[in-house]
């Protein structure tokens, strides 16, 4: 079985979000990580590899630095890494991004494509289903469990109040939830191998069956009209009191003032 | 001269840090309090290859270098010095001598399961009457047909009882020199747990690193196969000394980690703790102390990494290892003591980790050669 | 490209088990506002099997027209037949705006359909309005009027972007549930009903549903609560949530939680507030032992009154709180419950 896993390098929000003095987001000061949903998708692929045997190719689109997430994926057990990077691909919205990634995947042999549900920087959850649409694949989003049975996958597809157990013939595309599993750690030897091996780098010319008019900023139907980093809401009032009782009394006083009680 | 780490080492550090934060830190207090060996953590470390980091892949290891191994012990020790020393004793004191002096059969048979973490390793040199003066050892080994027969005991053995494979140093002959002085000739042996006549004494109750399993090893007509002699007969003492050189780099990393962990806590705490209307981090006294500690820790780190690089590239690295261990251990002790002071009363309370770190730090000045021994090694090289 | 051919505001009227989802009404409410600005009408697109009975309800909530795609293949949600249905409706009826709820269905259907009809899609919008693009005229660039301006938080709520889709139609958005206001239903209102069936021929993209497993729902819907008493990692244990329940009880509220509480197995996921949970806007929101990671804050910051209780005075939750109490929640919460009980009794 051949599996393609799509991953994205995103700023890490866990260590705290950093702002510039003017209140805008300081992306440069933030560490980057493999997007959590994507990592769950990779772990799902690695478990399929452990269980049934598989060759896993990880694919990312981004700046040259995004090579790091491919190495990380390889250090966890993925077999190959492909970085799609090109100046003309920059500024892409989800349509242009999915067009680009589909163009890269067309070069590959695969039974299964796994993406994360959504990235923590964009939160759109659109790229996975859109890749499937461009490739003409069945898509199963929000996977909370994945099994392989013959030439099909059986997936638990999560909804708000239920899940569907869904069967699809491969090739197909699955989007993974971070709740799907607890991703494994890398191994030290895996890290050394990942850096001793080559990552394949593709540019615009390597994309198959895509039109320039659908790529990058120019090929993005959605345009940013206005972007602002959200200014945090002004801090409220810290209630004073030396004991829990005093604090509580202060709060009850505020409740009375506001006629809440 | 470039002091920055390359990408693979950076990533390895990220891995060790994540593992330590998620898997080791939450248990550190409990491990100390209950004095229970953290077997679950060791199993997890085995799964991810931490028990054989500098070992070539053909022997079940990760194929990384001493620097990677050192960073692993460092990051583990930042959150739990017990976990750090388990890896250090296993890797430096058991795997390393077999890799260096073992026959191909010995490497295949012992290193492979050790590096995979299926088995745990330990090392026995110290005896009740022979600490710094290792020549004072009494344990003897006599060849009887196809077997060596060991008699004696070893004390304060890290990973004792939980380990499956032990490197044991014993006297195999006594010769007289020209002037008629008696000289003990030592040899090194690989002893497996379960060998007939091999048992364990009582568990030591320690000041620090309380989850590490410290036992006395007892040999009463303990019989092991002839082929378990490690290295040439009579070369046990240099083998032990060379092994300790490597071990000292591991302990130096443990000490470094303890100091770094304590400084991290101090930074967090002094920013939060308010006295006289402002955080104590805003007091210059605190700031200067933090600065001194940071400078000292970085100096220790450079010595430790230099020693690790020396182990990777040089045959002999005794002085580098001694300097690293001496400085890192004294740094750990000084920094943890200072951090407890910065914490004030809270520093003395067990709920706050720095009290444990201070107790853990002390052993790094003692085991695998006291700070005095390190000074002997360093000055010996200066004056020879 | 004939963009002017595209007319009207369409909303996807999501139903599950032949019950309309609340977000369908919210989209109709918003759709009405937008349609008014554009001088056009609102059409609900109702897709399912045996769903015609839901038409009147959509009319009562503001639909001028309802396009019904009714077919046995559409019984339970599956991406392919639904995407085929909605994409066919778009190609046939050419709306200028297509709104879809950002639900587990909408966030699958939306991107698939937008890729199929080759238009842009803006995810998880919280504000929709009609305006100019570019917002301020730029020399040498045509300023287009009557554009849908779609505002959405990104990066877990740290940034906000307003997006337009000037050159493609329809302008598509998925809209976060719980944000838009539905109208007070107009009893007896009727809509023009258009039945449409593009034909459904199963192909490789039709997946097979083997099982539908419904979660046992025994918890209150936190999106409807007026008072939420929310707990996080600092609460420390499942047992300690009892304190929060007692406080909630006094105020007639409901207990909710942060992701940490769900991960620790203290509370079920349907009580989770935040980016991967629910967006809530209660009148009073207590954040107890919640540090205030941005992913949590983005789900509760629009609450009318936020009270934070945390032992760490540097916790970011205090940046969004109206009132902050620094101290041990194990002491403050029971004391507060007791004090409120006493006040209420007076």
Q: How many domains does chain A have?
A: 1
Question: What CATH number does residue A92 fall under?
Answer: 3.40.50.620
Contacts of A among chains (3+ CB pairs under 8 A): B, C
Q: Contact B68/A187, CB-based, under 8 Å?
A: no
Q: What is the pLDDT of residue A230?
A: 65
Partner C contacted by A223 (CB < 8 A): yes
pLDDT digits (tens, 9 = 90+) for B262-307: 999 999 999 878 788 888 999 999 999 999 999 999 999 999 999 9
**Greatest distance between any 2 Cα atoms in chain B:** 78
Residue of chain C whose alpha carbon sits nearest to that of B274: C313
Per-residue pLDDT at C1: 52
Burial class (CB in 10 A: 0-12, 13-18, 19+), A12: middle
pLDDT of residue B213: 97
Note the pLDDT of residue A26: 72
Task: Please list, residue by residue across A72-81, b when 16 or more beta carbons sit within 10 angstroms of its beta carbon and e when fewer do.
Answer: bbbbbbbebb
pLDDT at A16 over 90: no
User: Does some domain include residue A245?
Assistant: no
For B271, the closest chain C residue by CA position comes to C314
pLDDT-derived band at C344 (thresholds 50, 70, 90) equals: confident
Annotated catalytic, B365? Answer: no
User: How many CB atoms sit inside 10 A of residue C129's CB?
Assistant: 14
Calculate how close chain C gets to B80, using CA atoms only, in Å. 22
Whether A219 is covered by a domain: the verdict is: no
* Residue A257, in any domain of the structure: no
Catalytic residue among B204, B220, B368, B372: B368
CA distance A74 to A72: 5
Comparing alpha-carbon positions, the chain B residue that sits nearest to A186 is B15
Contact assignment for C158 to A230 by CB distance below 8 Å: yes
C-alpha A258 chain-centroid distance: 44
Contact pairs from chain A to chain B, CB under 8 Å: 52
Residue C76 has its nearest CB partner, among A125, A164, A238, at A164
Kindly tell me if the per-residue pLDDT of A17 is higher than 90. Answer: no
pLDDT band at C177 (very low <50, low <70, confident <90, very high): confident
Please tell me the number of Cα atoms within 13 Å of A250 on its side-chain side.
Answer: 17
Confidence grade of residue C157 (pLDDT, cut at 50, 70, 90):
low
- Asked if A233 has any chain C CB less than 8 Å from its own CB, the reply is yes
| pLDDT at residue A258 tops 80 | no
Q: Do B15 and A194 touch (CB under 8 A)?
A: no
User: Would the CB atoms of A191 and B12 count as touching at under 8 Å?
Assistant: yes
DSSP per residue, C38-96:
HT--EEEEEEESS-GGGHHHHHHTT-SEEEEEE-GGGSS--HHHHHHHHHHHHHHH--S
A248 falls within a domain: no
A52-78 pLDDT tens trace: 999 999 999 999 999 999 999 999 999
**Closest CA–CA distance from residue A191 to any residue of chain B (Å):** 6
Segment C232-247, tens digit of pLDDT? 999 999 999 999 999 9
In sequence order, which residues have a C-beta less than 8 Å from that of residue C253 and are 6 or more positions away?
C225, C226, C227, C228, C229, C247, C282, C284
For A161, half-sphere exposure in the C-beta direction (CA atoms, 13 angstrom radius) is 9
Is the confidence at residue A20, as pLDDT, over 70? no
Region B103-131: what's the mean pLDDT? Answer: 96
Within 242-261 of A, beta carbons closer than 8 Å to C belong to 244-245, 247-252, 254-256, 258, 260-261
Quote the minimal CA–CA distance from C315 to chain B in Å. 11
Subunit contact A195:B68, Cβ cutoff 8 A: no
| Chain A residues touching residue B48 (CB < 8 angstroms) | 184-188
Is the pLDDT reported for residue B133 higher than 90?
no
Predicted confidence band at B384 (pLDDT cuts at 50, 70, 90)? confident
Contacts of C33 (CB under 8 A, 6+ apart): none
A215 in B contact zone (CB under 8 Å):
no
- A260, pLDDT greater than 90: no
CB B15 within 8 A of CB A191: yes
Closest approach of A37 to chain B, Cα-based (Å): 18
Asked if the structure places residue A105 within a domain, the reply is yes
Asked if residue A54 is part of any domain, the answer here is yes
Cβ-Cβ contacts under 8 Å, B281 against chain C = none
Q: Name which residue leads in pLDDT, A127 or C215.
A: A127
How much is the pLDDT for A151?
A: 95
Nearest to A191 among B15, B50, B57 (CB): B15
To the nearest whole angstrom, how far is the Cα of C189 from the nearest Cα of chain A?
A: 30
Residue A108 within a domain: yes
Per-residue pLDDT at C4: 86
Q: Tokens 């001598």 identify what position?
A: B97
Determine, yes or no, domain membership for A220: no
Residue A25 has pLDDT above 80, yes or no: no
CB B166 within 8 A of CB B89: no
List chain A residues with CB under 8 Å of C343: 252, 255-256, 261
Closest CA to C127 of C96, C105, C142, C149: C149
Contact partners, residue A234, CB within 8 Å, separation at least 6: none
H, E, C per residue of chain B: CCCCCCHHHHHHHHHHHHHHHHHHHHHHHHHHHHCCCCHHHHHHHHHCCHHHCCCCHHHCCCCCCHHHHHHHHHHHHHHCHHHHHHHHHHHHHHHHHHHHHCCHHHHHHHHHHHHCCCCCEEEECCECCECCCHHHCCCEEEEECCEEEEEEEEEEEECCCCCCEEEEEEEEEEEECCCCCEEEEEEEEEEECCCCCEEEEEECCCCCCCCCCEEEEEEEEEEEEHHHEECCCCCHHHHHHHHHHHHHHHHHHHHHHHHHHHHHHHHHHHHHCEECCEEHHHCHHHHHHHHHHHHHHHHHHHHHHHHHHHHHHCCCCHHHHHHHHHHHHHHHHHHHHHHHHHHHHHHHCCCCHHHHHHHHHHHHCCCCCCHHHHHHHHHHHHHC
Q: What is the pLDDT of residue B22?
A: 93
Q: DSSP of C124-170, one letter per residue?
A: EESEEEEEEESSS--TTSPPEEEEEEEEEEEGGGTEEEEEE-TTSSS
Residue A190, domain extent: 2-214
pLDDT at res. A143: 94
What pLDDT, in 10s, does the model give residues B55-85?
Answer: 999 999 999 999 999 999 999 999 999 999 9
pLDDT for residue B27: 95
Q: Please indicate whether residue C320 or residue A76 has the higher confidence score (pLDDT).
A: A76
Q: Is the CB of residue A186 less than 8 Å away from at least one CB of chain B?
A: yes
- For residue B7, the tally of other CB atoms under 10 A from its CB is 14
Smallest Cβ–Cβ distance between C103 and the set A136, A160, A221 belongs to A160
Residues of C in contact with A144 (CB under 8 A): none
pLDDT at residue B126 greater than cutoff 80: yes
The answer to whether the beta carbons of residues B258 and B78 sit under 8 Å apart is yes
List CB contacts (< 8 A) between B19 and chain A. 185
| Distance of alpha carbon C149 from alpha carbon A43, whole angstroms | 38
Mean pLDDT of B316-331: 98
Q: Which of A141, A233, A239 sits opposite C301 (nearest CB)?
A: A233
User: Under an 8 Å CB criterion, which residues of C touch B?
Assistant: 312-314
Q: Is the pLDDT of residue B132 over 70?
A: yes
User: How many degrees, rounded to 5, is the angle at CA C79 between CA C78 and CA C83?
Assistant: 120
- In the prediction, which pLDDT does A228 show? 77
pLDDT at position A65:
93
As a whole number, the mean pLDDT across chain B is 96
Q: Which position has the token pair 């589909």?
A: A102
**Paired strand residues for C322:** none
Q: Scan residues 123-162 of A and list those with Cβ closer than 8 Å to C.
A: 123-130, 132-134, 136-142, 154, 156, 158-162
Q: DSSP assignment of A77-144, as one string? A: T-SEEEEE--GGGTT--HHHHHHHHHHHHTTS--SEEEEES--TTT----HHHHHHHHHT--EEEEEE
Q: Which two tokens stand for residue B380?
A: 């010996």
The pLDDT of residue C156: 66
**Rounded CA separation A117/A177 (Å):** 6
Four-point Cα dihedral B140, B142, B148, B152, nearest 10: -20
Instruction: Please answer whether residues A217 and C126 qualify as being in contact, where contact means their C-beta atoms are separated by less than 8 angstroms.
Output: no
The single residue listed with the structure tokens 């505002």 is C151
Tens of pLDDT, residues A218-256? 999 999 888 877 655 566 788 988 888 999 999 998 888
């Amino acid at each position: 079985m051949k599996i393609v896993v799509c991953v994205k390098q995103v700023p890490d929000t866990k260590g705290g979000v950093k702002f510039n003095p003017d209140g805008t987001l300081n992306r440069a000061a933030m560490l980057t990580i493999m997007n959590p949903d994507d990592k769950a998708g990779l772990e799902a692929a690695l478990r399929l590899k452990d269980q049934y045997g598989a060759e896993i190719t990880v694919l990312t689109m981004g700046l040259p630095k995004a090579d790091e997430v491919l190495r990380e994926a390889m250090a966890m057990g993925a077999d190959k890494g492909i970085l799609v990077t090109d100046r003309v691909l920059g500024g892409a919205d989800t349509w242009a991004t999915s067009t680009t990634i589909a163009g890269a995947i067309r070069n590959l042999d695969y039974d299964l494509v796994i993406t994360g549900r959504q990235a923590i920087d964009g939160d759109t959850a659109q790229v996975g289903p859109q890749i499937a649409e461009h490739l003409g694949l069945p898509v199963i989003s929000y996977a909370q469990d994945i099994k392989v049975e013959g030439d099909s996958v059986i997936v638990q597809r999560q909804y708000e109040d239920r899940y569907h157990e869904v069967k699809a013939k491969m090739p197909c595309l699955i989007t993974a939830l971070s709740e799907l599993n607890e991703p494994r750690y890398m191994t030290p030897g895996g890290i050394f191998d990942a850096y001793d091996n080559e990552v394949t780098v593709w540019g615009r010319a390597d994309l198959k069956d895509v039109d320039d008019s659908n790529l990058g900023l120019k090929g993005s139907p959605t345009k940013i009209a206005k972007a602002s980093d959200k200014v945090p809401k002004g801090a409220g009032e810290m209630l004073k009191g030396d004991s829990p009782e005093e604090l509580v009394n202060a709060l009850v006083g505020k409740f009375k003032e506001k006629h809440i009680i | 001269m470039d002091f920055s780490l390359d990408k693979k080492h950076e990533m390895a550090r990220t891995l060790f840090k994540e593992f330590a934060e998620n898997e080791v830190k939450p248990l550190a207090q409990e491990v100390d309090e209950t004095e229970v060996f953290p077997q679950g953590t060791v199993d997890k470390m085995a799964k991810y290859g931490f028990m054989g980091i500098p070992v070539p892949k053909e022997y079940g290891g990760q194929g990384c270098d001493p620097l990677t191994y050192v960073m692993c012990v460092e990051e583990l020790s930042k959150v739990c010095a017990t976990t750090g020393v388990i890896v250090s004793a296993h890797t430096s004191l058991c795997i390393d001598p077999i890799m260096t002096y073992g026959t191909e059969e010995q490497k295949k048979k012992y290193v492979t399961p050790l590096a995979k973490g299926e088995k745990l390793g330990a090392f026995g040199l110290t005896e009740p009457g022979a600490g710094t003066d290792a020549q004072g050892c009494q344990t003897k080994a006599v060849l009887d047909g196809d077997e060596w027969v060991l008699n004696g005991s070893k004390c304060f053995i890290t990973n004792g009882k939980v380990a499956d494979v032990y490197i044991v140093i014993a006297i195999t002959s006594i010769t007289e020199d020209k002037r008629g002085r008696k000289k003990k000739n030592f040899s090194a042996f690989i002893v497996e747990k379960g060998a007939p006549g091999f048992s364990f004494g009582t568990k030591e109750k320690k000041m620090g690193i309380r989850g590490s399993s410290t036992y006395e090893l007892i040999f009463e007509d303990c019989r092991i196969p002839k082929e378990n002699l490690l290295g040439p007969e009579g070369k046990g003492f240099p083998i032990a000394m060379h092994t300790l050189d490597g071990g000292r780099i591991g302990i130096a990393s443990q000490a470094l980690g303890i100091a770094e962990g304590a400084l991290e806590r101090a930074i967090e705490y002094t920013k939060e703790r308010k006295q006289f209307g402002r955080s104590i981090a805003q007091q210059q006294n605190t700031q200067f102390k933090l600065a001194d500690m940071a400078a000292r820790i970085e100096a220790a780190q450079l010595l430790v990494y230099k020693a690790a690089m020396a182990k990777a590239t040089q045959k002999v690295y005794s002085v580098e290892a001694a300097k690293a261990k001496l400085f890192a251990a004294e740094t750990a002790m000084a920094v943890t003591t200072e951090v407890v002071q910065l914490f004030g009363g809270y520093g003395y309370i067990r709920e706050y980790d720095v009290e444990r770190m201070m107790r853990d730090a002390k052993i790094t000045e003692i085991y695998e050669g006291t700070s005095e021994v390190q000074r002997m090694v360093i000055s010996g090289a200066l004056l020879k | 490209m004939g963009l002017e051919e595209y007319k009207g505001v369409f909303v996807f009227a999501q139903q599950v088990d032949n019950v309309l989802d609340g977000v369908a009404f919210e989209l109709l409410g918003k759709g009405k506002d937008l349609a008014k600005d554009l001088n056009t009408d609102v059409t609900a697109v109702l897709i399912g099997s045996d769903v015609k009975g839901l038409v009147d309800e959509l009319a009562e909530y503001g639909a001028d027209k309802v396009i019904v795609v009714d077919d046995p293949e559409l019984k339970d949600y599956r991406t392919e037949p639904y995407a085929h249905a909605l994409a066919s409706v778009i190609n046939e009826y050419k709306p200028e705006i297509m709104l879809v709820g950002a639900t587990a269905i909408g966030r699958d259907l939306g991107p698939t359909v937008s890729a199929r009809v080759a238009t842009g899609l803006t995810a998880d919008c919280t504000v929709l309005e009609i305006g100019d693009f570019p917002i301020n005229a730029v020399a040498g660039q045509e300023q287009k009027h009557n554009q849908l301006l779609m505002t959405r938080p990104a990066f877990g709520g740290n940034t906000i972007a307003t997006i337009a889709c000037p050159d493609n139609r329809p302008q598509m958005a998925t809209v976060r549930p719980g944000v838009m206001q539905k109208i007070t239903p107009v009893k007896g209102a009727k809509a023009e009903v258009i039945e449409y069936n593009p034909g459904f021929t199963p192909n490789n993209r039709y997946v097979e549903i083997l099982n539908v497993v419904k979660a046992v729902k025994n918890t209150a819907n936190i999106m409807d609560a007026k008072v939420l008493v929310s707990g996080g990692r600092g609460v420390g244990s499942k047992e300690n949530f009892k304190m929060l329940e007692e406080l909630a009880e006094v105020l007639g509220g409901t207990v909710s939680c942060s992701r940490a509480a769900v991960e620790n197995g203290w509370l079920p996921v349907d009580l989770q507030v935040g980016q991967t949970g629910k967006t809530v806007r209660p009148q009073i929101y207590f954040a107890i032992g919640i540090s205030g990671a941005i992913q949590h804050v983005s789900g509760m910051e629009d609450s009318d009154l936020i009270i934070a209780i945390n032992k760490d005075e540097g916790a970011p939750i205090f940046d969004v709180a109206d009132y902050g109490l620094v101290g041990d929640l194990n002491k403050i919460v029971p004391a507060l419950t007791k004090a409120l009980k006493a006040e209420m009794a007076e």
